[in-house]
């Protein structure tokens, strides 16, 4: 089969290093069970459909970096819906059962429901429909829920870092009201885009006093509120360890008001530890990506909006699948390249965080959250 070298080549977005994947000379057909070097299966694909967002949250896209002069990717650099569907279909043949559309803010991508409809038609090797989900800041969700539901989207996850309007506006740094996000959540619930999850990134000294208020608001509903430790993704958010509130402290604060107990996980590779209120009035989750690494069973791959495949949220290097999609390569060739990439994966950044923070690789830049999604 035709091959390509793995040298670094210039791309539309040269800020992140990427290589053109090697296509193995001999490759078995996809088996539905690709395993990496640590025997982790490929089950979850996160697809970023845009690098743009209408919020300027300090932990993701701080305004002082992502200002009016910031150069986002031109539309010609983005994968088309047809290219996304093609590569997603190949990932499904290797074992992916869940696809999450993300961004940036994915609902800013024009006609996104068309892509949703295309992906909703995919089936696993066992003939099952995919778990097709979307993460959004909720700003335009109320306007989009019917089209997304009709297109085949299963459920949504909404980012919401505070209920207090002043705090929320300060954190999104776009003067966007919290009431509009809450309306989006209510609209998603009405049309059946659930179970809905709400993600709150907790920063000590910024919004940690909102923890109990958030828990109280969603308690007694089918919505699962999840608290996420402030992560050191990328290099622009000014991350400091003293702003991280460990999940153990979050749970302790909630337990002072609402008795809770641990629950069993739903699935291998689940990022959130599950808890429930003892009175049966709901469930919460904590994602402890800083204090309790879960790399050992991570089964996620991430595809950037311009077709770079990253094997870790904290990666410094990607694999340029767009070069194959826009080159003269067949589906079996691209499928073989994907399998080769995953089989070589040994990423476990969170388990090695202290060591890697102390000794970063010269000249390498970690991928930013807005570019690859959460």
pLDDT at 136 over 50: yes
Read off the tokens for 110: 């024009």
Tens digit of pLDDT for each residue in 146-159? 999 999 999 999 99
Q: What pLDDT, on a 0 to 100 scale, did the predictor assign at position 339?
A: 96
Q: What pLDDT, on a 0 to 100 scale, did the predictor assign at position 134?
A: 98
pLDDT at 6 over 50: no
Tens digit of pLDDT for each residue in 322-345? 999 999 899 999 999 999 999 999
What mean pLDDT is reported for the chain? Answer: 89
Q: What pLDDT, on a 0 to 100 scale, did the predictor assign at position 242?
A: 77
Per the CB < 8 A criterion, the answer to whether 372 and 313 are in contact is yes
Cα–Cα distance measured from residue 149 to residue 171, given in angstroms and rounded to the nearest whole number? 29
Q: What pLDDT, on a 0 to 100 scale, did the predictor assign at position 2?
A: 42
Closest by CA to 106, choosing from 171, 161, 158, 168, is 158
Reported pTM? 0.90
Tell how far CA 262 is from the center of its chain.
25
Residue 142: is the preceding peptide bond cis (ω within 30°)? no
The arithmetic mean of pLDDT across residues 184-213, rounded, is 96
Domain spanning 17-372: CATH superfamily: Aldolase class I (3.20.20.70)
Q: What pLDDT, on a 0 to 100 scale, did the predictor assign at position 59?
A: 84
Identify the residue with better confidence: 228 or 374.
228
Of all residues in the chain, the percent with pLDDT exceeding 70 is 87
Residue ranges per structural domain of the chain = 17-372
Closest by CA to 81, choosing from 43, 50, 42, 124, is 50
Q: What pLDDT, on a 0 to 100 scale, did the predictor assign at position 291?
A: 78
Q: What pLDDT, on a 0 to 100 scale, did the predictor assign at position 29?
A: 86
pLDDT at 8 over 80: no
Of all residues in the chain, the percent with pLDDT exceeding 90 is 72
Q: What pLDDT, on a 0 to 100 scale, did the predictor assign at position 349?
A: 67
Tens digit of pLDDT for each residue in 75-116? 999 999 999 999 999 999 999 999 999 999 999 999 999 999
pLDDT at 204 over 50: yes
307 Rama class: left (phi>0) / alpha (psi -120 to 50) / beta: left
Identify the residue with better confidence: 360 or 252.
252
Beta partners for 309?
Answer: 303, 319
321: Cβ–Cβ under 8 A, 6 or more apart, which residues? 21, 87, 303, 307, 308, 309, 334, 337, 338
Q: What pLDDT, on a 0 to 100 scale, did the predictor assign at position 3?
A: 45
């Amino acid at each position: 089969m035709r091959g390509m070298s793995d040298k670094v080549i210039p791309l539309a977005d040269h800020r992140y290093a990427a290589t053109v994947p090697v296509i193995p000379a001999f490759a078995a057909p996809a088996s539905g069970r690709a395993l990496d070097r640590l025997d982790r299966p490929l089950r979850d694909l996160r697809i970023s459909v845009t690098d743009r967002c209408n919020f300027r949250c300090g932990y993701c896209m701080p305004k002082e970096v992502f200002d009016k002069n910031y150069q986002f990717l031109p539309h010609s650099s983005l994968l088309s819906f047809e290219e996304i569907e093609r590569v997603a279909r190949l990932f499904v043949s290797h074992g992916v059962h869940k696809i999450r559309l993300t961004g940036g803010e994915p609902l800013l991508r024009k006609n996104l429901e068309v892509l949703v409809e295309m992906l909703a038609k995919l089936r696993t090797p066992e003939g099952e429909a995919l778990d097709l989900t979307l993460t959004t800041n909720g700003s335009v969700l109320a306007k989009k829920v019917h089209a997304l539901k009709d297109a085949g989207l299963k459920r949504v996850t909404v980012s919401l870092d505070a209920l207090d309007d002043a705090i929320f506006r300060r954190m999104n740094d776009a003067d966007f009201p919290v009431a509009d996000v809450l309306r989006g959540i209510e609209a998603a619930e009405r049309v059946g885009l659930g179970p809905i999850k709400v993600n709150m990134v907790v920063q000590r000294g910024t919004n940690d006093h909102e923890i109990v208020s958030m828990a109280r608001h969603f308690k007694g509903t089918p919505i699962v509120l999840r608290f996420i430790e402030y992560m050191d993704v990328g290099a622009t958010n000014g991350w400091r360890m003293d702003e991280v509130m460990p999940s153990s402290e979050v749970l302790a604060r909630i337990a002072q008001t609402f008795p809770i107990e641990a629950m069993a996980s739903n699935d291998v590779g689940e990022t959130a530890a599950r808890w429930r209120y003892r009175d049966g009035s709901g469930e919460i989750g904590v994602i402890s990506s800083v204090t309790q690494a879960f790399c050992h069973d991570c089964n996620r791959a991430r595809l950037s909006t311009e077709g770079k495949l990253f094997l870790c949220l904290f990666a410094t290097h990607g694999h340029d699948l767009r070069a194959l999609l826009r080159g003269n390569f067949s589906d079996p060739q691209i499928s073989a390249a994907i399998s080769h990439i995953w089989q070589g994966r040994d990423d476990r950044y969170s388990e090695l965080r202290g060591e890697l923070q102390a000794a970063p690789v010269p000249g390498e830049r970690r991928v930013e959250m807005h570019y690859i999604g959460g």
